[in-house]
Chain A
Amino acid sequence: MKMTIWHRLFGLALIGALSLELLGDRTAPVEVWDYPLFFALMGLFGCFILSLVAKGIVSPALDRPEDFYGPEDAEGDWTSQSPAARADARATSPETGTYSDVSAETPGRPGAPTDSSNGGEG
């Protein structure tokens, strides 16, 4: 990996953060977070632990395809049909029937377009 100015600056910042341990009065630690370098180690290993839990345990167990709840639930792009066109589409949609038209199928939104919009943002 090529060493850039950003790598050097980041390295200096790490050394600067560690050197803060040299400043201030030295008192006997009372709690675990009073020990030198505690917060550096917390940052380093905390990141590893959380990544391991998220990617190693939660992700394999709970990851699902984006259309898991149905294709209409997957979030589409924001650039398609204008809100006015959507309103027109909705206005021409069929109305629901009477109670006698009861169906065991789960209800959908009649006439609603299947793509997404940008919510009046222009």
Chain B
Amino acid sequence: MVDFVQMIVSGVAVGSSYALMGLAMVIIYKTSEVPNFAQGEMALVTSFFTMMLLTTFGYPVWLAFALAFVFAAFLGAFLEFAVLRRAKNPNILGTIVITIGLEMVLLGLVSWKFGAEHKTMPFPIGPYDSFIIGDIFISKLEALTLVSALGLMILLFFFFRYTRLGLAMKATQQNSVAAKIVGIRTNRIMMMTWGISSVVGATAGLLISPVIMHPFMMWDPMLKGFAAAVMGGMTSLPGAVVAAYLLGIIENLFGGYVSIEFKSVVAFAIIVLVLCFKPSGLFARHYVKKV
């Protein structure tokens, strides 16, 4: 029983970083229907930038993190402005290829600038400090990630529902021409969307960095976050978060009780199953377009 509870707790803990990446992907997809495969590398660039502020320039953690979020917002906005917006009427395949290209450019940039040797980021909470209750443990860093993911989800939920900017973002996604007619500057909205998404993704990157840093560190969380976003319906923020936690729990239970060798591929098996039986995802409403 202790093992079972521990696996659930561990699943929730690891699901938090998937949730943050999933949220970041959903934000962009909700507004522009672009599945952003550069999401992980955008977080990677911000994480290495933060490490540079902390280790090379000796900034205090609070200042480095504040600057990191500003940097992440500008990075996201810049990429939308400089790359995505320049594409002439790209179809979905075109945007996927563009984001994959961006991913490779950012990955190469980090490898070139910071080298490929493993590093860790200084952080006030040790990556392996933990809370132990009875025989159950959760690392403090993962607890912080959990709180961040849930907090951001709630914040974003209210942002999209009750703020003018959030509503403008939703309007842009649902009908960009109509949004333009009523005076919404859709280009600016897209830029802001990428900025906000980049900040959410960067939160995941910054909370992974105290454990280990190398150019490929965001690959696994990004893929799992994408799996969670697909499972949750790609447009539902709570859906992506719940799916991420489910994914983390299923992975842990599968690793504990079925096969540890195939633990990592469970996420992708789930994507296939969801796409077969409920293509719109577990939590999104199914829209039918009239032709």
Q: Do A and B come from one complex?
A: no
